[in-house]
């Protein structure tokens, strides 16, 4: 069967993803059309591939997409599947346009990925992220073909796939968490909103229903809002046209306001659920995607003021996708209380939707929906304000410090609410990544990559590094091994050299950090032989004499030590540089006045290490380990 432009597509009946663990795929020929629906999605997504050349190769790549869409294999939504379909289209059209004779995967040349990447960079420009995205998706499909489908690719091409996209990817600024003030304002507004919704749906609505009856047999007829509400509660959602037909013309369009009001008193709208959603994400470890999949039976094991929320987390791996979160359970705006209130508020709507989904709502255009949180991802949909925008407008939520030229009205994002929760956990544990990962339900690498370097946590990062450095220095101070303390000829009045100790003068052998008065009498070697250790050992040697002339070199060396702290583990840094750091900070720098120190700092900064040998880790360890 052919397909004209604009013609609607039909699909095999009986395919519903509601009861399936994985997505449902439908494949139609002539033209080849893919339709998929994932368990948490209420709509079927359709992708047309009939206009794309390369029938055999196309079907091989499609089969790879099918297996990648299995539970917890990486493709967990229709938008993710669309990303791979776009990459397939671009790749197949590239092969056809370049005249590459590849009928199947086994015909692909070793350089096909690089050629495709160059073509995408030429098409979109080097400043675009699209080439990197398309090539990465293609490499993932081809790796899937080798690992799961036994495709035969050349060894050179398989090696190339390991690198993925090698083109430059524009730097992106990670989405930050809300500030403490913004988070408090959102939470306060959400609590007020939850109270308003609960009073309307569990108080005003039932009170109105109690006074109504069938419009054909009750006082007021179809003119009475109580009768209209009773009719909707017993017959389901209706449009004006349907009510006009069922009332045999008694319900007229001028009663539209009564219909809208009655609907809002019976069933929640997507706008009504924003406060529940925002509070749940701010107070629990659930991700926006995990929260969207909750059902009415997700709560378990309430005890000691806490309750368990059972949820599913995509991209967590096959064996770790089913999760539990232990959350506070008490008042109506605690995580446990929010879920219970949602169950009560949506009970009437859930009866007509025929679903056990938690986020059930009614919309004016499409009736009942079991995926109300999908409306939270869309802004300015079809020219209308989204529920998130309306929520911010209703409670006058604004940014604390809006960027110049941007809108002052605060924008709600699920990812920012999630990062705000993790940021609060990060602060509570004092920057401990392992503890933060446990609180957020992530692994430490994931927590570091996504939450360990966002702008709102910058001050905490600085304090964490400072505290870690202080701890390692204290350990170095306690366990430093040395051959004695050097003589420091300072410039303070109280720092005159003691009797019998040499001052800076002739007869000293010049080395980088000090003058040596006993090169052949080293505490680290045999008497009569030259000193066997690196010049860094002078800081731990009684033969060294440090004067103001050596201070710029000492400051340069100190900067080098501090730089190594960010490149090494704590134990390794402490072993290699800790003793020298302690000696400089505790025993050398305090012996000089501020003017001398400032002059040395300026000289070290202007020289920028020129002519100064900066030691490696091996050099620093040499005098300690031989």
DSSP string over 454-476:
-GGGHHHHHHHHHHHHHHHHHHH
Mean pLDDT value of segment 243-271: 85
Quick one: tokens of 540? 């731990």
Residues 480 and 569 in one domain: yes
Query: Where among 394, 419, 445 does a domain terminate?
Result: 394
Tell me if 7 is assigned to some domain: no
Residues 479 and 389 in one domain: no
- Give the per-residue pLDDT at 3: 37
Could you tell me which residues come within 8 angstroms of residue 579 by beta carbon, excluding any fewer than 6 positions away?
A: 476, 480, 481, 482, 539, 540, 624
Contact in structure between 76 and 37 (CB atoms under 8 Å): no
User: Cα separation of 78 and 64, whole Å?
Assistant: 15
- Measured CA to CA in angstroms, residue 123 lies from 54, 86, 127, 129 at distances of 21, 15, 11, 12
**Percent of the chain surpassing pLDDT 70:** 78
Most confident of the ranges 104-108, 302-306, 376-380, 537-541: 302-306
Tell me if 277 is assigned to some domain: yes
Tell me if 517 is assigned to some domain: yes
Tell me if 503 is assigned to some domain: yes
Q: How confident is the model at residue 91 (pLDDT cuts 50, 70, 90)?
A: very high
Mean pLDDT value of segment 12-27: 45
Residues 390 and 479 in one domain: no
Q: Tell me phi and psi for residue 496, to 5 degrees.
A: -65, 145
Which of 25-29, 68-72, 119-123 has the least mean pLDDT?
A: 25-29
- Give the per-residue pLDDT at 25: 61
Residues 374 and 493 in one domain: no
- Measured CA to CA in angstroms, residue 520 lies from 275, 530, 532, 551, 605 at distances of 78, 5, 10, 24, 34
Q: Tell me: pLDDT of 151 over 80.
A: yes
**What is the DSSP code (8-state) at residue 544?**
E
Q: Tell me phi and psi for residue 609, to 5 degrees.
A: 80, 5
Residues 148 and 30 in one domain: yes
CB atoms within 10 A of CB 17: 18
User: Cα separation of 415 and 281, whole Å?
Assistant: 9
Which of 43-52, 318-327, 383-392, 578-587 has the least mean pLDDT?
A: 318-327
**What is the DSSP code (8-state) at residue 173?**
P
Quick one: tokens of 120? 């995408």
Tell me if 75 is assigned to some domain: yes
Instruction: Label residue 623 exposed, middle or buried (CB < 10 Å: 0-12, 13-18, 19+).
Output: buried
Residues 600 and 493 in one domain: yes
Contact in structure between 503 and 489 (CB atoms under 8 Å): yes
Number of domains in the chain: 3
According to the 3-state scheme, what is the secondary structure of 226-261?
HHHHHHHHHHCCCCHHHHHHHCCCCCCHHHHHHHHH
- Give the per-residue pLDDT at 188: 95
> Within 69-176, where are the H helices?
78-97, 112-124, 130-149, 155-161
Q: Tell me: pLDDT of 580 over 60.
A: yes
Residues 389 and 488 in one domain: no
Quick one: tokens of 202? 């569990």
Q: Tell me: pLDDT of 480 over 60.
A: no
Tell me if 493 is assigned to some domain: yes
Which residues on adjacent β-strands are paired with residue 516? Answer: 509, 544
Q: What b-and-e string marks burial along 322-351, b requiring 16 or more CB atoms within 10 Å of the CB?
A: ebebebebeeebbbbbbbbbbbebbebbbe
**What is the DSSP code (8-state) at residue 574?**
I
pLDDT in tens, 171-208: 666 678 898 889 999 999 999 999 999 999 999 999 99
- Give the per-residue pLDDT at 338: 94
Contact in structure between 323 and 311 (CB atoms under 8 Å): yes
Q: How confident is the model at residue 6 (pLDDT cuts 50, 70, 90)?
A: very low
Tell me if 39 is assigned to some domain: yes
Query: Where among 341, 362, 394 does a domain terminate?
Result: 394
User: Cα separation of 433 and 447, whole Å?
Assistant: 7
CB atoms within 10 A of CB 397: 18
User: Cα separation of 502 and 335, whole Å?
Assistant: 72
Tell me if 463 is assigned to some domain: no
Q: How confident is the model at residue 574 (pLDDT cuts 50, 70, 90)?
A: confident
User: Cα separation of 163 and 143, whole Å?
Assistant: 11
User: Cα separation of 278 and 268, whole Å?
Assistant: 16
Could you tell me which residues come within 8 angstroms of residue 221 by beta carbon, excluding any fewer than 6 positions away?
A: 215, 227, 250
Quick one: tokens of 225? 């809002």
- Give the per-residue pLDDT at 12: 35
Q: Tell me: pLDDT of 371 over 60.
A: yes
| pTM for this prediction | 0.62
Quick one: tokens of 586? 């505790």
Quick one: tokens of 201? 């749906």
User: Cα separation of 482 and 480, whole Å?
Assistant: 6
Q: Tell me: pLDDT of 494 over 70.
A: no
Could you tell me which residues come within 8 angstroms of residue 437 by beta carbon, excluding any fewer than 6 positions away?
A: 443, 444, 446, 447
| Higher pLDDT pick, 378 / 94 | 94
Query: Where among 140, 161, 182 does a domain terminate?
Result: 161
Of 51, 133, 66, which is closest to residue 96 (Cα–Cα)? 51
Q: Tell me phi and psi for residue 239, to 5 degrees.
A: -90, 170
| Higher pLDDT pick, 357 / 100 | 357
Residues 479 and 345 in one domain: no
- Whether the CA torsion 388, 393, 394, 397 is positive or negative: it is positive
Residues 35 and 143 in one domain: yes
pLDDT averaged over every residue in the chain: 79
pLDDT in tens, 443-478: 777 777 676 666 667 666 666 666 666 666 665 555
| Higher pLDDT pick, 378 / 349 | 349
What's the residue count for the chain?
626
Q: Which domain does 318 fall in, by range?
A: 270-394
Mean pLDDT value of segment 618-622: 50
Q: How confident is the model at residue 1 (pLDDT cuts 50, 70, 90)?
A: very low
Quote the Cα angle for 279-280-284, to 5°. Answer: 120
Contact in structure between 360 and 372 (CB atoms under 8 Å): yes
Residues 503 and 618 in one domain: yes
User: Cα separation of 250 and 215, whole Å?
Assistant: 9
Contact in structure between 609 and 603 (CB atoms under 8 Å): no
Contact in structure between 284 and 323 (CB atoms under 8 Å): no
Up-side HSE of residue 4: CA atoms within 13 Å toward CB?
Answer: 1
User: Cα separation of 490 and 487, whole Å?
Assistant: 9
CB atoms within 10 A of CB 51: 10
**What is the DSSP code (8-state) at residue 585?**
I
Mean pLDDT value of segment 255-263: 83
Residues 479 and 621 in one domain: yes
Q: How confident is the model at residue 24 (pLDDT cuts 50, 70, 90)?
A: low
User: Cα separation of 488 and 469, whole Å?
Assistant: 25
Q: How confident is the model at residue 297 (pLDDT cuts 50, 70, 90)?
A: very high
Which residues on adjacent β-strands are paired with residue 363? Answer: 367
Q: How confident is the model at residue 417 (pLDDT cuts 50, 70, 90)?
A: very high
What radius of gyration do the chain's Cα atoms show? 35
Residues 503 and 621 in one domain: yes
Quick one: tokens of 511? 């080395």
- Whether the CA torsion 228, 230, 231, 236 is positive or negative: it is positive
pLDDT in tens, 381-413: 444 678 998 999 999 999 888 777 777 888 898
């Amino acid at each position: 069967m052919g397909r004209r432009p604009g013609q609607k597509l039909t699909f095999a009946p009986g395919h519903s993803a509601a009861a399936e663990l994985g997505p449902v795929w439908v494949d139609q020929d002539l033209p080849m059309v893919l339709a998929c629906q994932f368990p948490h999605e209420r709509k079927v997504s359709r992708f047309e591939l009939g206009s794309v050349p390369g029938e055999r190769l196309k079907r091989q790549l499609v089969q790879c997409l099918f297996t990648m869409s299995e539970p917890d294999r990486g493709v967990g939504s229709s938008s993710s599947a669309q990303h791979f379909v776009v990459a397939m289209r671009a790749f197949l059209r590239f092969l056809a346009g370049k005249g590459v004779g590849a009928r199947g995967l086994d015909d692909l040349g070793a350089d096909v990925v690089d050629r495709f990447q160059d073509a995408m960079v030429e098409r979109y420009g080097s400043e675009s992220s699209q080439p990197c995205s398309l090539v990465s998706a293609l490499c993932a499909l081809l790796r899937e073909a080798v690992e799961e489908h036994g495709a035969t690719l050349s060894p050179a091409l398989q090696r190339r796939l390991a690198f993925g996209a090698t083109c430059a990817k524009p730097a992106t600024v990670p989405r930050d968490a809300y500030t403490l003030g913004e988070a408090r304002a959102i939470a306060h507004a959400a609590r007020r909103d939850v109270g308003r919704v609960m009073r309307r749906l569990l108080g005003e609505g039932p009170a109105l229903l109690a006074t109504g009856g069938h419009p054909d047999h009750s006082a007021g007829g179809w003119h009475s809002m109580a009768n209209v509400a009773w009719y909707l509660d017993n017959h389901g959602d209706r449009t004006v046209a349907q009510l006009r037909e069922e009332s045999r013309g008694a319900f007229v369009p001028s009663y539209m306001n009564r219909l809208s009001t009655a609907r809002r008193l019976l069933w929640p709208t997507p706008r009504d659920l924003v406060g529940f959603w925002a509070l749940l994400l701010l107070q629990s470890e659930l991700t926006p995607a995990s929260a969207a999949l909750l059902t009415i039976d997700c709560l378990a094991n309430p005890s000691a003021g806490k309750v368990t929320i059972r949820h599913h987390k995509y991209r967590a791996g096959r064996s770790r996708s089913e999760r539990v979160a232990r959350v506070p359970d008490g008042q109506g705006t605690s995580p446990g209380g929010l879920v219970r209130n949602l169950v009560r508020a949506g009970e009437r709507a859930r009866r007509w939707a025929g679903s056990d989904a938690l986020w059930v709502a009614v919309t004016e255009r499409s009736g009942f929906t079991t995926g109300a949180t999908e409306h939270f991802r869309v802004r300015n949909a079809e020219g209308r304000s989204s529920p998130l925008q309306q929520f911010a407008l209703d409670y006058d939520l604004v940014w604390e410090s809006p960027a110049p030229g941007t809108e002052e009205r605060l924008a709600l994002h699920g990812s920012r609410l999630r990062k705000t929760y993790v940021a609060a956990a990060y602060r509570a544990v004092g920057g401990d990544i392992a503890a933060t990962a446990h609180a957020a339900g992530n692994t430490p690498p994931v927590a570091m990559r996504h939450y360990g370097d966002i702008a709102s946590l910058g001050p905490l990062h600085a304090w964490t590094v400072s505290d870690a450095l202080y701890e390692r220095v204290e350990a170095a101070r306690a366990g430093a091994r040395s051959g004695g303390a050097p003589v420091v000829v300072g410039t303070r009045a109280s720092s005159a050299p003691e009797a019998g100790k040499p001052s800076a003068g002739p007869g000293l052998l010049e080395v980088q950090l000090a003058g040596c008065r006993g090169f052949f009498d080293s505490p680290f070697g045999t008497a009569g032989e030259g000193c066997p250790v690196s010049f860094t050992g002078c800081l731990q040697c009684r033969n060294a004499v440090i004067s103001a002339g050596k201070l710029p070199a000492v400051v340069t060396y100190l900067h080098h030590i501090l730089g190594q702290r960010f490149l090494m583990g704590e134990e390794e840094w402490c072993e290699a540089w800790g003793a020298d750091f302690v000696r400089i900070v505790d025993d050398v720098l305090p012996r000089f006045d501020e003017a001398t120190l400032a002059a040395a700092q300026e000289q070290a900064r202007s020289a920028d290490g020129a002519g100064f040998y900066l030691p490696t880790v091996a050099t620093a360890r040499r005098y300690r380990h031989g």
